[in-house]
Copies of this chain bind each other. A is one copy, B any other.
């Protein structure tokens, strides 16, 4: 499964089509795009935090949803019309302060539906599932190609 857009191309596309993602300041960025996978970063600002400096649940849900969109775009090209139909997220551990990285992997890229799985971890956290702060799966309805 080979990407058809680079991280930079997707960033440019998102800035143009979805400027609201950056309302309140630029916090999300794309770290990388590779075969069937993308990594999206949340550099949390005050609006993403809960008391104690923990990233809020809704900020992690927004991160998973965006990262899922990024990995799908990367593999189907610049299609604004892909829409989330389902998102399921398990919150596993309280995140430590610092950036969060969401690694998304395509499980299925069908004619009508794309399913991805997303693992969110702190940037400096231990490797593997024991470092995940949240785990999500998302389904997008994609336009016929």
- A interface, CB within 8 angstroms of B: 1, 17-18, 20, 23-24, 36, 46-51, 56-58, 61-62, 65-66, 80, 83-93, 105-108, 112-113, 115, 117, 128-130, 132, 135, 137, 139, 141
Contact = CB atoms under 8 A, between A and B. Distances in A.
How often does this chain occur in the complex, in copies?
A: 4
Nearest to A16: B51
Contact of A57 (B49, B56, B87, B129): B87
A23 B51 contact: no
A20 B129 contact: no
5 contacts: A18-B51, A57-B65, A62-B62, A86-B89, A88-B137
A46 B135 CA distance: 29
Contacts of A57: 65, 83-84, 87
A92 B137 CA distance: 12
